[in-house]
């Protein structure tokens, strides 16, 4: 008997043209390239142009993913956009993406889980595809965090960047074992007791403003590695795979120290870890598909490889996904 799996057909990404280096930031806030690189591994980030909104970035990434999958936008019947920086409070930015791509059927909606957004969106889309209700989906992570940063707060403004990444998923019959292609397992968690450690101090229902990102960096750091390793161990338990079986580890790109510590604790070899935080900063829900696309484009990730994703972010939310390419 076969089962439906969500198989990745293609991947694409987009970064705004403007690059802001650590040195450039140090001209306006009291920081230094040395401090930022040592604490985070970040060297530069991309910042969206005036008037360039999250759905613009998402449409570029979606088009690139469709091209890499060799499929037409008209074949898409589900669009899930992970973002915490939507164009407007409503409608969902996903419908702007849908309209931008010229798609008029199926469903499109936003999903908000901050930096875990892409993993959450993969899990939700996988569930919908496996019901058979939808056939081919775009899962997108897109953010313009530059719009919610307090550019006078050196403890946060140096950490984030803008960008977008997308994958095309298709429901395909597979034999039903752990060697199948597609999403093999996903695990999502949240714990709202930590909601004030990383949040935005505004919103339509509370302040009627957009607000700025606030974070207790040290507290986030303290929880991150334990939460990440825990939810990855869930993925290993569910499939019987171990760290040694992983071909590529594509983590959320928040901080190089968190990435390295997590990989070390799990026993994943450093050469299997995909890192782009140095070039992109933390692009929240966009960081995983941006890193993923970099590793596909340079030929590291190939068909048949076992790829592990993880993310942790505001809420706290966290999650993992194990995918056979
Ligand atoms: N430049 C120079 N000095 C700075 C800067 C800066 N940009 N920012 C803070 N400092 C100073 C602080 O004021 C402090 O000075 P003090 O000792 O005189 O008080 C000193 O540096 C150390 O500050 P800490 O906050 O203790 O530094 P830490 O080593 O913890 O690094 C960091 C801070 C990089 C934020 C780290 O805690 C971290 O990465 N945390 C996790 C953040 C994260 O991953 N967030 C994303 C989660 S995903 C999401 O959902 C958005």
Domains and their CATH numbers in the chain: 3-174 (3.40.47.10), 182-324 (3.40.47.10)
DSSP E strands in 175-217: the ranges are 182-190, 198-200, 213-215
pLDDT band for position 47 (50/70/90)? very high
CA-257 nearest atom, ligand 1: 39
CA-311 nearest atom, ligand 1: 48
Cβ atoms of residues 168 and 71 within 8 Å:
yes
Span from the CA of 261 to the centroid of ligand 1 (angstroms): 17
CA 160 to chain centre: 13
Ligand 1, atom 12: closest residue by C-alpha: 155
Span from the CA of 158 to the centroid of ligand 1 (angstroms): 9
Span from the CA of 152 to the centroid of ligand 1 (angstroms): 14
CA distances from 18 to 40, 84, 297, 304 (A): 21, 21, 21, 35
Span from the CA of 115 to the centroid of ligand 1 (angstroms): 17
Ligand 1, atom 43: closest residue by C-alpha: 254
CA-157 nearest atom, ligand 1: 7
Cα 48 from Cα 174, distance rounded (Å): 40
Span from the CA of 21 to the centroid of ligand 1 (angstroms): 18
pLDDT in tens, 71-91: 999 999 999 999 999 999 999
**Mean predicted confidence (pLDDT) in 131-148:** 98
**Mean predicted confidence (pLDDT) in 182-193:** 98
Cα 253 from Cα 184, distance rounded (Å): 22
Ligand 1, atom 2: closest residue by C-alpha: 31
Residue 1, pLDDT > 90, answer: no
**Cβ < 6 A, ligand 1 pocket:** 31, 35-36, 39-40, 114-115, 154-155, 158, 198, 215, 217-218, 220-221, 224, 254-255, 258, 282, 284, 313-314
Give, for 142, the enclosing helix (H) or strand (E): strand 136-144
Cα 168 from Cα 177, distance rounded (Å): 22
pLDDT band for position 12 (50/70/90)? very high
pLDDT band for position 216 (50/70/90)? very high
CA distances from 182 to 14, 41, 112, 307, 321 (A): 24, 31, 24, 10, 11
pLDDT band for position 121 (50/70/90)? very high
pLDDT in tens, 283-316: 999 999 999 999 999 999 999 999 999 999 999 9
> Rounded to the nearest 10 degrees, how much is the dihedral formed by the CA atoms of 82, 138, 165, 236?
80
pLDDT in tens, 219-237: 999 999 999 999 999 999 9
């Amino acid at each position: 008997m076969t089962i439906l799996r969500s198989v990745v057909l293609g991947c694409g990404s987009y970064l705004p043209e403007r690059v802001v280096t650590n040195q450039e930031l140090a001209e306006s806030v009291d920081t230094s390239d040395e401090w930022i690189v040592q604490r985070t591994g970040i060297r530069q980030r991309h910042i969206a142009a005036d008037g360039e909104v999250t759905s613009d970035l998402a449409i570029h990434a979606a088009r690139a993913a469709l091209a890499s999958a060799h499929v037409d936008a008209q074949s898409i019947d589900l669009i899930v956009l992970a973002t915490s920086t939507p164009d407007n409070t409503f409608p969902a930015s996903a419908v702007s993406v849908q309209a931008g791509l010229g798609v008029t059927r199926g469903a499109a909606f936003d999903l908000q889980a901050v930096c875990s957004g892409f993993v959450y969106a993969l899990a939700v889309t996988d569930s919908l595809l496996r019901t058979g209700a939808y056939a081919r989906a775009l899962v997108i992570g897109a953010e313009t965090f530059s719009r919610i940063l307090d550019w006078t707060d050196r403890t946060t403004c140096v950490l984030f960047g803008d960008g977008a990444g997308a994958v095309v998923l298709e429901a395909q019959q597979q034999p039903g074992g752990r060697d199948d292609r597609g999403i093999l397992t996903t695990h999502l968690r949240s714990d709202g007791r930590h909601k004030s450690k990383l949040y935005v101090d505004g919103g339509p229902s509370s302040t009627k403003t957009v607000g700025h990102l606030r974070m207790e960096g040290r507290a986030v750091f303290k929880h991150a590695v334990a939460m990440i390793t825990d939810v990855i161990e869930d993925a290993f338990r569910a499939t019987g795979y171990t760290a040694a079986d992983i071909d590529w580890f594509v983590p959320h790109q928040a901080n190089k120290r968190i990435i390295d510590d997590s990989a070390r604790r799990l026993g994943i070899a450093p050469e299997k870890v995909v890192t782009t935080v140095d070039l992109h900063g933390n692009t929240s829900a966009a960081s995983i598909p941006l890193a993923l696309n970099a590793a596909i484009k340079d030929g590291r990730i190939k068909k048949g490889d076992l790829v592990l994703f993880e993310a942790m972010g505001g809420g706290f939310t966290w999650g993992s996904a194990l995918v056979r390419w």
